Amino acid sequence: MNDKQLVALQAAKYVQDGMLVGLGTGSTANYFIDELARRQREEGLKVTTVASSTISAQKAQSLQLPIVALEHISGIDLYVDGADEISPDKTLLKGRGSDLVKEKLLAKAAQQFIAVADESKLVDYIGQNFVIPIEVIPFAWQLTKRSLEALGGTGDLRPNAAKDGYWITSHGNYVLDMKFDPSLDAKSLNDLLSNTPGVVEHGIFYSLVDAVFIAANGDVDERWA
């Protein structure tokens, strides 16, 4: 069993009968979905799920997990998702894909949010290994980019896979992939990005997790906030 699977299985132990569980997106989150389905099949676990992306919704459906749409919920019991970076104060960077809008809604709506990752995701500061994805309303992208540049940001619109156009998110928006001065702390950057007109959502998950579970060499370290 690899570390991503191990940490996902550990988080799945926190799922109890009757819970409404948020499903994350990515390879680690996929192991969590698989484990929920196994527990439903083999242990008779009774849960309802809500997905952060179309791909996770399809996976849950194909495994016969009961699923409800985000627009029909007002809160969830538990959300389990991966991350691209995790800093020492448990800020996450997420959204390498294009589903950070739903991911952040579920993170905020959850009674408990557990981030699951292997140790390769640990960083000293947010933005160390990845650019910060910032989802913007298409018609506002130039104005928003200029505002972000005024904050010291550098970067550009994310190209599509064929490199002949721009990446479109699940919600029909563009993504600006930006770098900022590493001396800017996560809270300040989070606040600045959230307050910039034209920004729909961004990949900094500040003060949202209840715990990060980190797997390394076959062991899981549960770090509760």
Asked if 25 and 53 touch (Cβ cutoff 8 Å), the reply is yes
Active-site residue flag, 135: no
**Residue 28 binding ligand 5RP, by CB under 6 A:** yes
- Residue range at the interface with ligand 5RP (CB under 6 A); choices 23-31, 32-40, 162-170, 208-216: 23-31
- Residue range at the interface with ligand 5RP (CB under 6 A); choices 22-30, 36-44, 104-112, 188-196: 22-30
Spot the catalytic one: 35, 42, 43, 103. 103
Q: For residue 23, what are the CA distances in angstroms to 67, 160, 164, 222? A: 10, 25, 32, 19
Cβ-based nearer residue to ligand 5RP, 64 or 129: 129
CB of 92 to ligand 5RP, least distance (A): 8
Q: Which residue is nearest to ligand 5RP (CB)?
A: 26
- Residue range at the interface with ligand 5RP (CB under 6 A); choices 10-18, 79-87, 135-143, 210-218: 79-87
- Residue range at the interface with ligand 5RP (CB under 6 A); choices 19-27, 144-152, 160-168, 171-179: 19-27
Length of the chain, in residues:
225
Q: Figure out which of the listed residues 3, 12, 22, 24 binds ligand 5RP, where binding follows CB under 6 A.
A: 24
Question: Could you give the CA distance from residue 176 to residue 25 in angstroms, rounded to a whole number?
Answer: 20
**Residue 128 binding ligand 5RP, by CB under 6 A:** no
**Residue 59 binding ligand 5RP, by CB under 6 A:** no
- For the chain, the 3-state helix, strand and coil shares in percent, each to the nearest 5, are 35, 30, 40
Query: What residues contact 168, with CB distance under 8 A and at least 6 apart?
Result: 98, 160, 174
Query: What residues contact 70, with CB distance under 8 A and at least 6 apart?
Result: 50, 51, 102, 105, 106
**Residue 177 binding ligand 5RP, by CB under 6 A:** no
Encoding tokens for residue 134? 């910032």
Q: For residue 120, what are the CA distances in angstroms to 4, 109, 214? A: 10, 27, 9
Cβ-based nearer residue to ligand 5RP, 22 or 97: 97
**Residue 82 binding ligand 5RP, by CB under 6 A:** yes
* Backbone angles phi and psi of 80, in degrees to 5: -125, 125
Asked if 68 and 122 touch (Cβ cutoff 8 Å), the reply is no
Site for ligand 5RP in 93-112 (CB under 6 A): 94-97, 99-100, 103
Catalytic residues: 103
The footprint of ligand 5RP (CB under 6 A) covers 24-29, 81-84, 94-97, 99-100, 103
